[in-house]
Amino acid sequence: MSISENIKSLRAQHGMSQDEFGKIAGLTGKAVSTWENGTKEPRLGAIQKLADYFHISKSEIIEGPVEKEKSAAISDELILQLYNKLTDENKQKILELARLYVDGQEQK
Q: Which tens digits make up the pLDDT trace of 9-51? A: 999 999 999 999 999 999 999 999 999 999 999 999 999 999 9
Res. 65: pLDDT tops 90: no
What value does the mean pLDDT take over residues 56-68?
82
C-alpha distances out from residue 22 to 10, 11, 28, 49, Å? 12, 10, 5, 10
H helices then E strands: how many in the chain? 7, 0
* pTM to 2 decimal places: 0.60
DSSP symbol at 87 = -
- The pLDDT score that the predictor gives to residue 50 is 96
